[in-house]
Structure 1
């Protein structure tokens, strides 16, 4: 079999399926095992217990699919046409949602396209062992992407490409064919530290190393508990994820916009007013978030994140009234509501703050009596 010709066909098929770039690498990630163990030992994975549970399997793709000798690493652009980064972040009456989550959930789309690629290869070669992955298995996708020539690991730990920046999803197709491999990408960050210095919570603790416990993306998406107070102000109006480290990256000036209709901004995020989003009951939230990656965090966590954003918003009597009316529905929410009301009241003259606090004390007493 002419494997070089097959690789050319594989890349051509991948582009037809909507992937922006494809590369091939072997399965040896042993050079990354020590760093992975150090990251886990430091507790940087936070409450993401599955990362520790799977341990070194993440660095051993062949354990996921016995017989695997190559990984086809693919990336798909997701930056929507109307990203509106600056205007959204500067208007703190509106919720900021990480740009990858403005459209439909990417997992199913990217995985389906990888599966189609596997089927196309199988039609060409006959017997083939393959399996697609998109955040669905314990595999170090970024080191694989770098080995496959898709980009290098930036200081923010994301994969960067000199022409396309970092606004893309990654997916992997594990196969048992000994295909020729691509040259790995070389790091081109140089002395630039824009992502490190711009992180609102100082979560980038070393080059390429992120302490998830400090990361706004982790706090708003993966973490279901009480947000530590030191991170609430820096969160601003970011209610789902954070893009700051990508926004300041010089290489993202050249990033292409996505042509995928599923990744464009959904109608419900055309006007992401904090109070409007907070008004959704659980049924409405689940209905609105059908097909969205946001749905998995659940209604309570969604409201928790919005409460923090409302605390960071400009003074609003509507916000104060809404938060006051929500007290008593959940112990988790009450902790954040109390903080948010304090932030709102801090914007008032001293005499008005005392008045607001007295009104809330009376309201709490009436609720208890009821």
Structure 2
């Protein structure tokens, strides 16, 4: 059966809506779950800059200093790629296996190292950008079929893919383009697919009709707020990033404040709790790409096995993995906290002691904390 790409080579499009439908079909064939369209000059960007500055004024960013930079590009994304007329927003499902909505099943495995589900397979950033580039090439190849349509087709075709790789209001773009609504945990939720997906953008120089946002459907539910282990969701649609376990285990460099350590439990890289309890994730879809399949047992690795990783193990096992971002010593820091929170075990104490004085004062401080937690249980 011929693909929609092959069919299009013999078909003239009668409207820009048909062009959009063809692009959406191409996106699905390339592994994206959905896509939406937004004009580059959409008014949301000015509003988002105001919200971002108000959020920064509250000091919620922690060590995310980059959020103070490039406000001009966030407010006017056309400056990122000269000639851009439309942003194509896409999402990609990443769940390798179904979850049970409203339950934190990770808590059943206190001796396991819990890694956020998006990070158990390959780093999605490269996967996303590569497939967005393929989508752009398909669009470029079909432009002759659109010569009679007024979509800026007489100018050279310009495009650029993004995946969390530039100062872009990614979630707000997806929201405005109809891919879902912003939940009270500030993640995007889709009525047919929950929230276990990642986002990307393709800037193109063709002017296409915009999509419309969908209505929010959180209602009075605040399960995500109630479940947050560190109470980082300070109010609906407001997250104190500096208290979020995802931030603490991935972005934060140096000692983790003691007030958050017990609440971290056995989460060593990211946290899915606010998504796991969301009732909309009963509709979450499984990933269609093998890239999201867990590697190196990151869906079932024990804390002690991860603790025993050497620097060489880390370098080998995190190649092409999101875990590379946190660094070896900071990952050990996270595991030390998790071992302190694990069930009492002499083997755990011995394992902790074995790494003292090997990787600096910062890690030693967390090891001593963890040993104290173990020996006072």
From 60, 75, 80, the counterpart of 1:59: 75
Q: Does 1:92 align with 2:122?
A: no
Select the structure with the greater relative contact order (CA < 8 A; seq sep ≥ 6): 2
From 119, 123, 127, the counterpart of 1:101: 119
- 2:70 is paired with a residue of what secondary structure? helix
State the Cα distance separating 1:340 from its structure 2 match: 0.5
- 1:299-354 CA-to-partner distances (Å, cap 9, x unmatched) read 1011000000000001111111111222212101011111101100111xxxxxxx
Structure 1 stretches lacking a partner, 5+ long: 348-370
Q: TM (normalized to structure 1)?
A: 0.91
SS in 1 for 2:354: helix
Report the Cα offset of residue 86 of structure 1. 4.5
Within the candidate set 128, 137, 157, 1:128 is matched to 157
Q: How many residues align?
A: 347
Matched-pair contact (CA < 8 Å) for 1:164–1:255:
yes
In structure 1, the partner of 2:282 is: 253
Contact persistence 1:83–1:99 (CA under 8 A): no
Q: In structure 1, what is the Cα distance between the partners aligned to 2:168 and 2:300?
A: 37
Matches within 5 A, 1:276-291: 276-291=305-320
2:219 corresponds to:
190
For the residues of structure 1 that align with 2:245 and 2:296, how far apart are their CA atoms?
24
Deviation, 1:229, is: 0.4
Paired with 1:115 and 1:59, the residues of 2 have a C-alpha distance of 24
Q: CA deviation at 1:187?
A: 1.3
Which residue in the other structure is 2:48 paired with? 32
Hey, what's the Cα distance between the residues in 2 that align with 1:227 and 1:267?
26
Contact 1:33 / 1:56 at 8 angstroms: preserved in 2?
A: no
Shift of 1:59: 3.3
Residue 219 in structure 1 maps to residue 237 in structure 2: no
Q: Which has the larger displacement, 119-128 or 152-161?
A: 119-128
> How large is the RMSD of aligned CA atoms in angstroms?
1.5
Q: Secondary structure at the match of 1:239?
A: strand
Deviates more, 1:87-96 or 1:175-184: 87-96
| 1:82 shift after superposition | 6.3
Q: Secondary structure of 2:37's match?
A: strand
**Is the Cα contact below 8 Å between 1:82 and 1:265 reproduced in 2?**
no
Matched-pair contact (CA < 8 Å) for 2:345–2:374: yes
Which range moved further: 190-199 or 120-129? 120-129
- Match of 1:272, SS state, is coil
Determine the structure 2 residue equivalent to 1:346: 376
Is the 1:81–1:264 Cα contact (8 Å) retained in structure 2? no
Which 4+ residue blocks in structure 1 deviate beyond 4 angstroms?
82-87
Q: Is the 8 A contact 2:114 2:299 kept in 1?
A: no
Aligned match of 1:168 in 186, 192, 197? 197
Is 1:16 equivalent to 2:32 in the alignment? no
Identify which of 46, 57, 61 aligns with 1:41: 57
Alpha-carbon distance between aligned partners in 2 of 1:161 and 1:270, rounded to the nearest angstrom: 25
* Long gaps (5+) in structure 2: 1-12, 145-155
Q: 1:83 to 1:260 in 2, by over 3 A?
A: farther
Q: How has the CA–CA distance of structure 1 residues 109 and 336 changed in structure 2, closer, same or farther, with 3 Å as cutoff?
A: same
